[in-house]
Amino acid sequence: MLTDKDVAGPLVDHHCHGVSPAELDFAGFQALFSESYRPAPKGTTEFQKPLGLAIRRWCAPVLDLEPSCAPEAYVERRLVLGAAEVNRRFLRGSGLDELLVDTGHRSSAIAGIAEMAEIAGRPTREIARIEAIAEEAARGCSSAAGFAQAFADLLEARARQSVGLKTIVAYRCTFRIDQTAPDKASVDAAADRWFRHAAEIGKFRLEDPIIVRHGLWLGAEICRQRKLPMQVHVGFGDPDVYMHACDPTHFTDFIAAMEKWEVPITLLHNYPFQREAAWLSEIFQNVYYDVGVILNYAAPMATDILGEAMEMGKYSKLLYSSDAFGLSELYYLGALLFRRSLMKVLNRWLAEDACSVADAEEIIRMVAQENARRIYPIN
């Protein structure tokens, strides 16, 4: 049977975000491990869920506290140590080899690529989020007329410094959309509408399906030319998600088109569609997948979810990610729970006499690093 030592090797975290440098109070800390727009109901806390238990149980000792200490004591200790020290402890304790960082979500509130490298003491590489770049390009344009070119130029420039692109089409329009590239006239007309709407509401938030699709195909063309994977948000997320329409099998046509172009698609998180994602990895040559932040949320049940993801999926296509954002605890827990869960799934396979120890060791190597290194340009 495998032990902790067998899964202790460094991981490539192929999808995470930056940590928050803020000194977080009790409410602020809770807000960063919740997908809700509102606080927990009166008389309850965010700690009253598996992720809350996991933070108290496994993160507390890293801050010199007793396992499963009181929530208030945990947050207090965090403030005493200071965010810089806390972040350093968790990130350096995560056993990561390299971090691929999506810089497009609330980027002003979190550490950038260079800071992340410094905090973690490990190399970090950038993933460029298409929709955020479209919004940034729009903000830089004096009128809609210049948008298409500005977007193309900015995306190209960002892609040059990145090791992959990412789309959150699922958040913005769901996957139940026309999946072809829109023509230029439609894009221009949509940009026009968008700029007028943005002038009214005072900000650029990209939700127009035509421009989202345009960005998707602009990104796809870049990925094809530069041989970059495209990360695709799937399933689990905040209240913007219409979950039933974020089943990745609604995105089959785009995925199939990318297979023709030989663009690797990495399906992120996927919960509760981890089985669908694994099936897509079986039928499409270009599909890769992870279970991301779900292991943190499910904590003691993480093994079951990773197990489902490994039911039929190719282990040559399973990736590790923490999808951590904001709290450095989430990078640490992500790695800890992934290692534990993978060990438990493989020990079950060994107990079932379904593979050899050498097979299990190959699976660990592939999932921890080799699969990511095969598809991302990270040496």
Instruction: Tell me which residues in 27-56 interact with a copy of itself (CB under 8 A).
Output: 34-41, 43-46, 48-51, 53-54, 56
Q: For residue 23, is it left (φ>0), alpha (ψ between -120 and 50) or beta?
A: beta
Q: Which of 314, 320, 309, 307 minimizes the C-alpha distance to 367?
A: 320
CB closer to a copy of itself out of 131 and 247: 247
Q: How many CA atoms lie within 13 A of 200 on its CB side?
A: 6
Q: Contact region for a copy of itself (CB under 8 A) — 78-86, 133-141, 205-213, 304-312?
A: 304-312
Q: Is 312 in the site for a copy of itself (CB under 8 A)?
A: yes
Select 202 or 239, whichever has its Cβ closest to a copy of itself: 239
In whole angstroms, how close is the CB of 172 to a copy of itself at the nearest point? Answer: 15
Among 74, 204, 315, 320, binds a copy of itself (CB under 8 A): 315
Nearer to a copy of itself among residue 163 and residue 191 (C-beta): 163
Residue closer to a copy of itself (CB basis): 54 or 210: 54
Rounded Cα distance, 234 and 289, in Å: 10
Tell me which of 90, 271, 325, 332 binds a copy of itself, using CB under 8 A.
271
Q: Hey, what amino acid is at 106?
A: R
* Rounded Cα distance, 330 and 51, in Å: 9
Residue 299 binds a copy of itself, judged by CB under 8 A: yes
Query: Using the rule CB under 8 A, which residue among 215, 229, 313, 326 binds a copy of itself?
Result: 313
Do the Cβ atoms of 290 and 342 come closer than 8 Å?
no
Do 71 and 47 form a contact (C-beta atoms < 8 A)? yes
For a copy of itself, give the closer residue by CB, 99 or 363.
Answer: 363
Q: Do residues 133 and 157 touch, judged by C-beta distance below 8 A?
A: no
Minimum Å gap between C-beta 180 and a copy of itself is: 16
> Of 36 and 161, which CB lies nearer to a copy of itself in the complex structure?
36
Cα–chain-centroid distance for residue 104? Answer: 11
* Integer Cα distance of 100 and 118 in angstroms: 14
The interface region with a copy of itself, picked from 80-88, 105-113, 217-225, 310-318 by CB under 8 A, is 310-318
254: its two tokens: 């785009």
**Interatomic CA distance for residues 240 and 294, integer angstroms:** 17
Nearest residue (CB) to a copy of itself, 101 versus 366: 366
- Binding-site residue total for a copy of itself (CB under 8 A)? 74
Q: Which is nearer to a copy of itself, 103 or 286 (CB)?
A: 286
311 lines the binding site for a copy of itself (CB under 8 A): yes
Positive or negative: CA dihedral 101, 164, 230, 121: negative
| Contact assessment for residue 346 and residue 294, using Cβ atoms and an 8 Å cutoff | no
Question: Per the structure block, which two tokens stand in for 256?
Answer: 């199939």
Least distance between a copy of itself and beta carbon 155 (Å): 26
Beta bridge partners of 318: 289
For residues 111 and 151, give the distance between their C-alpha atoms in angstroms, rounded to a whole number.
Answer: 24
Binders of a copy of itself among residues 188 to 247 (CB under 8 A) are 236, 238-239, 241-244, 247
d(CA 317, CA 276): 14
Residue 173 or 299: the one with the smaller Cβ distance to a copy of itself is 299
Q: How far is the CB of 114 from a copy of itself (least distance, A)?
A: 32
Q: Give min distance, CB of 54 to a copy of itself, in A.
A: 7
Residue 359 found at the interface with a copy of itself (CB under 8 A)? yes
Length of the chain: 379
Q: Tell which positions 81-110 bind a copy of itself, by CB under 8 A.
A: none
User: If binding is defined by CB under 8 A, does position 259 make contact with a copy of itself?
Assistant: yes
